[in-house]
Structure 1
Amino acid sequence: MKRLIGYLMLLLIGTGCSGQVTASSDEIISNVLASNKDIGSVYSEGEMLLYIDDELTEQVTFEEYVSSEGQRKIITSDAITNQQSMAVNDGETMVIYEQGSDTAHSIDVAGLDLPTSFTQKEQVTAMIENMKDTHSFEIKGEEEVLGFDTYHLLLKANAPSSIIGDMELWVDQKTWFVIKSKTISGETRSEMQYEYIDFSPTFPVDTFTLDLPDSVTIQPLEGGNQAQQGTIAEAEEALETPFYVVDQENVSIREIEVYSFGGEVNRNEVTIYYSIDDDPAFLLSVFPTPEGPGMSLGNSGEESVRGHAIEYMEEIRSIMWDEDGLRYSIIIENPDVSFEKALEAANQMTLSSEE
C-alpha cells in the first residue's frame, strides 16, 4: 500500500527539439495549473521508474481511469516484485488493495484533497503549484512526444535544500497535459512516461469498483492511526526512550499527540505543538530513525543541532536531523518565527526525562 501511494509521486524524458517557442514559461505553467481544474474523462497507461544512486529500485507500469464525475481508478504493476496494487476513489471513499493480501484499506475522502486521490497529472500539477516560489522556470524548446507537440520545460530549484529538486516537464500544447516528467532530488531520480492516452474514453458501469476476493476484509485506514492526546511521560513510553524537547522560557506546549502506525510503517510517533508567548509557533515530530534505501537525510550546510547535520526543507520550513536512534522534525507554523529562531530552540532542547 505504501508503494502504491508513493508511486503517485513519481514522474520521464523527451525527444528532439524543433521550431520557435510561442509561449512564455509563465503562460505555460498557468495553463497547466488551470487545465487541472477540469480534467474530463481520461484513460491512460504509462511507466514510472525510481533510481537511487543511479540504481533502478522500482519499475512500475500503471493504468489510470478518470471520469468527468470525479471518480478515479489506478492499477499499478511492479515489474521487479511482480506485485499488483489497485486504488479506487468514487468521490466518497477510497479503497486500496494489494494483490494477495487478505485486507483492503478504505479512506473516507469526502470533501478532502488527499494526495492518494491524484492521478499522475493531478500529482504533477500539485507539485508545480508548490514550486512557484522555490524554482525558476525556463523553456528548453518544443518537442514531439508520443505524437503530441509539447513544450519542454526546466524547473530549476533556487536552493540546494529544496525538498523537490530540479524537474523537467513535457507539456502538450493543446491540452496542457503533462506527457512526461523527470525529477532529480539528491540521490533520488524519478521518471514518468505516458505511453497511451485516450481523452474520450467510454467506461463500463463497473469500472470504478473493486472485485475483491470473498476472503478479503476492508479495514478503515484511519482507524488504527488516530492520534491520542498524551503527556511527555506517555510519549516517552510510546518511543521507548527519553527524547529531546524544547526548553525555552517563552515557549510552551499546546498539545501532545501520540500516533501508532501499523502495516509497512509500523512505528510510534510523537507530535508536540508549541507556542511562543501563547501564539502557535512550530511543531516537533519524533519517531525512530527509518532505515533502508533513500531514508537517509541530506545535509543543508554548516548548521547543526548538537553536532548532528540537519536537512532544511524550505517549502515546508522543516528542520530535520537524526540523534540517538530518533528522527526529529521541527516544522515552523508561524511566518513570524524565523529559521534561526527554530534552530536556536532545537539546540537548546533538553531530554524529556529531565523535565
Structure 2
Amino acid sequence: MKFLKTASLVLAASVALGACSEGDVSNFSPEQVIENALEQTEKAPSYYGEATMDMGDVKLTLKEWTDGKNRRAEVSSDEGEAITVFKDGVMTTYDKTNNKVITMDTGDTMGNLPSPQETAENILHVIKDTHDVKMVGEEKVAGRATYHIQAIEKKETLFGNQDFWVDKETWVILKAESQMGDAVSKTVYTKFDTKPKLAADTFELAIPKDATVEVIDADANEVDLTEAEAKALYPELRTAKGVEVASISKMDGLKGEPEITFEYQQDGHDFVSVSLFKDTLTEEETKLEKGEEQVEVLGEQATYEKIGDFQLLNFAKDGLRYSIMPTGDGITKEQLIDFANKLEK
C-alpha cells in the first residue's frame, strides 16, 4: 500500500500548472512570471502530458489527461501502477498491483484534494514572501520555450530552494526542482500537448470484476458535539473561556482515537481552530522539523511554524495534543501563543 499512498499523493498534487494565455511574453521579470502564472490558475486547460518524478527513494512516471473539468492520471514505478480518474465530482483510484479500487465523492470539480493548479499556486504564493527570486534565463523543456526562474530561501523553510521552468505560451510549470537539505526532488514533463485528441472513454475507468472496492465518505465519521460531550470524551481538555465557540465536531483520527475540533470566533468573525486528540506520538514523531520554531505554551515545549499565510502551533498538555491554527485574517504568532496560554480546564 506504500506505493498506492505515494501514487495518490502525486496524482492529486503533480506539478503541472494548467493555464492558457496569449500576448507579449517578452521582457518579464521573475515576479511578473509568477504573477502571470498565478493569474492563469483559474483557467484549467485541456492537455495531455507525460512526466517523470524523482523523489530520491521513489521514482515515478506520470501520464495525465484533462479537458479542463475531468482528469485522468496514471502513475507507475518499480512497485506498481495506479490509475486515478476525477469525473463528475467523483475520484476513483485503481491500484493495479493490489487489485483494489477506492472511490470518493469530492464535489463538483476535480476534487477537494489540491489540483495541480492549486498545488503550484500555493507554492508560488509561499516563495513570493520567503524566497529571493531571480530569472536564470530562457530554456527548452519538452520542446517548448520556458522561463527558468530560481527561488532561494531567505531562511529555512519547508519548501527549500526551488527552480521552476514556466512555459512562455501557457504559463504551465513544465519542470520543477526543489532542494531541502540533502533531499532533492525533480519533476519534468517530457511531453506536453495543449491540443490533445481525447477519446470518448478517456475519463472512464474499467474496473475488474474481482477487484476489491472501498467507498470513502469523507464526512461520514464527523459529528457535532456539545462542550459537555467533548469533556466526557477527554476530561482533561482545555478550552478558551470567554471566547465564542462557533462549533465543536468529532471525527476519527489517523490512529483511531477521537479528534475533537473547536472553531472559535471573535466579534462574530472566524478566529482560531483548535484540534486535539490523545497524545500517542513518539519522541521521534515530535522531533523539531525543518522550518519549525520551538516556543513555550502552558509550561510545555511547543512548536510553531509559518509558511506563507499558513501558521500552526502544536503542543501536548495533560496527555492531549493540541494543534492551533488561525482561521481569521491578520492573526500573529504572539496572538496564537497568548490564546493557547489562556486555555484552561
**Are 1:281 and 2:253 matched, yes or no?**
no
Deviations along 1:114-165, one digit per CA (max 9) or x if unpaired, are 235x24x5532343245444444321222333333322112344553x4544
Q: 1:261 to 1:32 in 2, by over 3 A?
A: same
Structure 2 distance, partners of 1:96, 1:333, is 32
TM-superposed CA distance for 1:205, in Å, is 1.2
Match of 1:87 in 2: 84
Kindly provide the amino acid, as one letter, of the partner of residue 62 in structure 1.
Answer: L
The superposition leaves residues 88-120 of structure 1 with CA deviations (integer Å, 9 ceiling, x where unpaired) of: 11243222232224442222321576235x24x
Once the two structures are superposed, what CA deviation does each residue of 1:256-288 show, in whole Å capped at 9, x if it has no partner? 1111257xx755422111234654320111245
**Preserved contact between residue 92 and residue 101 of structure 2 (Cα < 8 Å):** no
Which of the residues 300, 305, 325 maps onto 1:312? 305
- For residues 188 and 320 of structure 1, the distance between their equivalents in structure 2, rounded to whole angstroms, comes to 25
**Are 1:210 and 2:205 an aligned pair?**
yes
Task: Tell me, yes or no, if structure 1 residue 29 matches structure 2 residue 29.
Answer: no
Tell me how far 1:24 sits from its aligned partner: 0.9
Unmatched runs of 5 consecutive residues or more in structure 1: 13-20, 51-55
Match of 1:15 in 2: none
**1:160-309 map, 5 Å:** 160=156, 162-185=157-180, 189-216=184-211, 218-223=213-218, 225-232=220-227, 234-235=229-230, 244-248=237-241, 250-260=242-252, 268-276=258-266, 279-287=269-277, 288=279, 297-298=288-289, 300-301=292-293, 303-305=295-297, 306-309=299-302
Distance 1:155 1:327, change over 3 A: farther
1:113 & 1:101 partners in 2: Cα distance? 23
TM-aligned CA deviation for residue 36 of structure 1: 3.6
Whole-angstrom distance in 1 between the partners of 2:260 and 2:181:
27
Residue 49 of structure 1: CA displacement?
2.5
8 Å Cα contact 2:94/2:100 also seen in 1: no
SS class of match (2:119)? helix
Aligned residue in 2 for 1:53: none
1:109 has 2:107 as partner? yes
CA contact (8 A) 2:86 2:111 kept: no
TM normalised by structure 1 equals 0.77
Alpha carbons 1:11, 1:191 under 8 Å: kept: no
Q: Contact 1:134–1:315 (CA<8 Å) still a contact in 2?
A: yes
The alignment's C-alpha RMSD in Å is 3.4
Change (3 A) 1:67 1:134: same
Aligned residues: 327
**Compared CA separation, residues 338 and 223, structure 1 to 2 (3 A):** closer
Q: Quick one: distance in 2 between partners of 1:49 and 1:237?
A: 48
Q: Which position in structure 2 is the counterpart of 1:58?
A: 58
* Distance verdict in 2 for CA 1:345–1:129, change over 3 Å: closer
* Aligned counterpart, 1:148: 144
Alpha carbons of 1:156 and 1:328: their partners in 2 closer, same or farther (altered >3 Å)? farther
What's the secondary structure of 2:32's corresponding residue? helix
Deviation at 1:42, TM superposition (A): 1.5
Residues 1:74 and 2:67 aligned together: no
The code of the aligned residue for 1:229 comes to D
Structure 2 residues not aligned, in runs of 5+? 17-25
Structure 2 distance, partners of 1:201, 1:291, is 49
Is the alpha carbon distance of 1:23 and 1:338 closer, same or farther for their aligned partners in structure 2, counting shifts above 3 Å?
Answer: closer
| TM-score normalised according to structure 2 size | 0.79
In the alignment, is residue 44 of structure 1 matched against residue 49 of structure 2?
A: yes
